[in-house]
A and B are shown apart, each in its own frame.
Chain A
Amino acid sequence: MKSEVVPMIKKLGSLLWYDQEESCLLCSAKSVEPICSGCREEYFQPRSSRCPSCGKLIGNLSERCKDCSSGIGPKTLDKVVSLGYYGGAWRDLICNVKYKGQPYLLLRLSDYMISCTVNNLPPPDAVVPIPMHPNKLAERGFNQTEVLASILSGKLGIQLRHYLIRTKDTAPQTSLGRNERIQNLRGVFQVKEGVKLKDKIIWLVDDVITTGATLGESAKILKENGVKEIYAFCLGAGKEE
């Protein structure tokens, strides 16, 4: 008996030992933090400013990105913050969460999300996820923006509110240009019946911001219904070249 069990325990032991060698979510290098310092530097770029209108990473040279300075960015958001640059391994991680059924990975990002929001945005009355169309939600089984919003809500003690509903299934935004995106989103969002939004301050949450059409459109609807200030948080944003 003994001779069989001991080697097995030893092997299992060494397995555990390897599992415990914690590794970076992005590059698998050994790292105590969920994301290693090299990857944080590369994707979060803590010293690069974000365009306050659209969340884009803009270095330190200007106040706003070129698009927003020339007036074609979203205009209904009071400020946007993005955690990192939507590219490379950071993009892969966000895609793995969304398309490969791994929403639990987002939990490991909570500390980064919290410092990104509380350091840059004023406290809100509610955190609101961008809704997914019911059909898409049915296929995927979860809404990643809702997971993000519930992390912020849970950790910061802010109410999670589903003020918005999505009434139309849209073509994927990625295949469209800026004007088409805005066109594509007309009438997609509605405010849920009976909710009181007057003078509220809201954090809108989405996974990725590119042109800002989705967040801009949702914010527009919310403001038309009385919301006072709207701030947006997303995991990934573009970078000014």
Chain B
Amino acid sequence: MLFYTLINDSGEVRFSPAPEVDKLLGNVTVLNLRLPLEVLWRNLEEIIHIKPSEIPTPLEELKSRIVNRLKPALEKEGNLNIEEFEWDTPDTNDKITNEKCRLVLGNERLFTDFIARVQGRQLAEGELTSLRGSMHCDEQTITVLMQKAVLTNHHVWVPAIRRIKGYWVCQRCGSIHCQEWTSIYGYAATCQECKSIGPLNSLQVLFRCQPLQNQNPQKVKHHTYPFDFSPSQKRAAEQLLELSQKDGVHEILVWAACGAGKTEVSFPAIRKYLSEGKRVLFAAPRQDVVHDVQLRLQRSFPDHMVKILSGAAAPDWEDSLLIVATTHQLLRFYRAFSLVVFDEMDAYPYAGNKILEFGLKQAIREDGRLIYLTATPSEELLKKFGQEDFPVIRLPLRYHGRPVPIPEWIEVNFPDKNLKNLELSDKPYFITLSKVLRELAQDGPLLVFVPTISLVPIWTEILKKVFSNKRVEGSWSSDPHRRTKVSSFLKGSCDVFICTSILERGITVNKVQVAVLFAHHEQYDIRSLVQMAGRTGRTSENPTGRAVFFAPRKTREMIRAIDWIREQNSIAKGGSFHEE
């Protein structure tokens, strides 16, 4: 979207993609040159922020100051043929007729409908097509509505990516991981970090909307939950409900053992918010988990439509009180939610976390609350929580009351060189490995973790030989057949499943046994080791199982992971525990 530069009677400079709207709503003079908002902001920064007392008079001087800044900048960097900078000349480019403009501006019902759809969001240009479709109106109409919202309702235009102190900074995700390229306006950049929800570049804008109003409180029928809380779950849920209403508490950490049923612990708090007409977002790191949680929430809140947002799919424009989304979807919202339940935030590497923190800050209302649910809180979370304003609720006992199986270490001297050739059957390490894997597979479906994507196909081939009479599959995050393969394992139609961290969290498979190959790899920290081991023994029918770390040596992370699980188990056994 391109913007014109406008000056109003009092010498205030602003930018508009539809100056026709500005003209109808006030007296303005327009520079007949359309440019990306980022280019305008960067080059006219001083002029926009000029103090009212310092605005030059007559306006002619301001006009020439603007031209004097834009002209050399575009000539130096860009590749544009601008013959003349003209003010207030009629422009024939995509002109919105006065008649059309009046018609749209006069339609209050249309405007209300528009506001209802966009409140609480920050829209990228790529999302406008779908918005248009949902409102059955054309491009010009939407542009007029947007500009009206900017002029009358404090919505704002923001360049999608800005050049700040020599860095390109994405305004949607806060990342500086941007790819620079050359446009006709000079350098431009595309954000590489939030690409997965639709690439943004610096020639584009974000339309940042006003905070959402709460819906009217509604009497929610008190359905009983379609599951029973275990006693410790019940205690934690009550504690969480109380804290989530307490003044001065904005963030709460729920630290549970793997398989303790932490998701359900958040339901009473969620119910309370919904009954007050407040919007709730449940965010989880992986698509597989999101779909699973949506089902559980929908069963527990049958009066509400529990919406899913995931992947690059166009957003749904109907308002909804309860949304389940993959964490990156946070970036589509602005001051929208009163409660965000953030599942397994530590599933992200450090850099990913920064993006999500940024997204959280934007998506949550200023008076909103945040609940972290995790089995493996990061160092940063543990450091932050524990004081009165940042309470921790611990839930160390598994749902079925039995301890989490303690992982075993089995010494296996993996060769350092890559394993392209499969002639390993006679190697001593391989004999041990395959013997233990066969034992494990006798007790249930076998989940085999490897640290890198490239190891998945190699080990899938190897294990197909080891388990010639079993069904062996392998998958990784970007595998196009991932969904079908994963669901075939979850359904039990696959016996041995080799994967990267994709199944490290959030899944429950009856009787599953876990093998971590190359457990000494730097890819595995204490948290991922605890999570992988935590896949075992999750169901009441089969509360035991084995998790084996295969590695040439016992690393510090492995020792810490084993200690972590031991400690949780002993706290759980004690029945009571100190809140740190």
Of A8-16, A50-58, A174-182, the one with at least 4 CB within 8 A of chain B: A8-16
Q: Is A70 an interface residue (CB 8 A)?
A: no
Residues of A within 8 A of B525 (CB): 7, 10-11
The residue on B at minimum CB distance from A4 is: B379
Residues of B within 8 A of A139 (CB): 1-2
- Partner of B454 from the list A30, A102, A141 (CB cut-off 8 Å) is A30
The residue on A at minimum CB distance from B199 is: A100
- Partner of B190 from the list A4, A11, A12, A101 (CB cut-off 8 Å) is A101
Residues of B within 8 A of A112 (CB): none
Residues of A within 8 A of B351 (CB): 11-12, 15
A interface, size bucket: 20 to 34
* Residue contact B350 to A8, C-beta cutoff 8 Å: yes
* Residue contact A102 to B379, C-beta cutoff 8 Å: no
Interface bits A136-157 vs B (CB < 8 Å: 1, else 0): 0111111000000000000000
Residues of B within 8 A of A14 (CB): 349, 522-523
Of A20-28, A79-87, A115-123, A192-200, the one with at least 4 CB within 8 A of chain B: A20-28
* Residue contact A138 to B453, C-beta cutoff 8 Å: no
Residues of B within 8 A of A23 (CB): 478
The residue on B at minimum CB distance from A15 is: B349
Q: Is A135 an interface residue (CB 8 A)?
A: yes
Cα–Cα distance between A29 and B185 once the two chains are bound (Å): 35
* Residue contact A15 to B350, C-beta cutoff 8 Å: yes
Residues of A within 8 A of B452 (CB): 17-18, 21
* Residue contact B94 to A21, C-beta cutoff 8 Å: no
- Partner of A13 from the list B2, B180, B198, B522 (CB cut-off 8 Å) is B522
Q: Is A59 an interface residue (CB 8 A)?
A: no
Residues of A within 8 A of B531 (CB): none
Cα–Cα distance between A30 and B401 once the two chains are bound (Å): 43
Residues of B within 8 A of A142 (CB): 181-184, 188
* Residue contact B126 to A141, C-beta cutoff 8 Å: no
Q: Is B204 an interface residue (CB 8 A)?
A: yes
- Partner of A30 from the list B181, B185, B350, B453 (CB cut-off 8 Å) is B453
Residues of B within 8 A of A124 (CB): none
The residue on A at minimum CB distance from B181 is: A104
- Partner of A100 from the list B182, B198, B349, B453 (CB cut-off 8 Å) is B198
- Partner of B184 from the list A8, A101, A137 (CB cut-off 8 Å) is A137
Q: Is A37 an interface residue (CB 8 A)?
A: no
Smallest CB separation, B407 vs chain A (Å)? 21
Contact A101-B203, Cβ < 8 Å, known A15-B351, A21-B454, A142-B181: yes
Residues of A within 8 A of B2 (CB): 138-139
Residues of B within 8 A of A4 (CB): 379
Interface bits A78-118 vs B (CB < 8 Å: 1, else 0): 00000000000000000010001111100000000000000
Interface bits B480-521 vs A (CB < 8 Å: 1, else 0): 100000000000000000000000000000000000000000
The residue on A at minimum CB distance from B92 is: A135
Residues of A within 8 A of B478 (CB): 23, 28-29
Q: Is B179 an interface residue (CB 8 A)?
A: yes
The residue on B at minimum CB distance from A103 is: B181
- Partner of A96 from the list B179, B199, B204, B379 (CB cut-off 8 Å) is B199
* Residue contact B523 to A101, C-beta cutoff 8 Å: no
Residues of A within 8 A of B350 (CB): 8, 11-12, 15
- Where the two chains meet, the residues of B that have a C-beta atom closer than 8 Å to any C-beta of A are 1-2, 34, 36, 93-94, 126, 179-185, 188, 190, 198-201, 203-204, 349-351, 379, 452-454, 478, 480, 522-523, 525
Selected A-B contacts with CB under 8 Å, 23 pairs: A4-B379, A12-B349, A15-B351, A17-B452, A18-B452, A21-B452, A27-B480, A30-B453, A30-B454, A100-B190, A100-B198, A100-B201, A101-B190, A101-B199, A101-B201, A102-B179, A102-B201, A104-B179, A137-B184, A138-B2, A139-B1, A141-B185, A142-B188
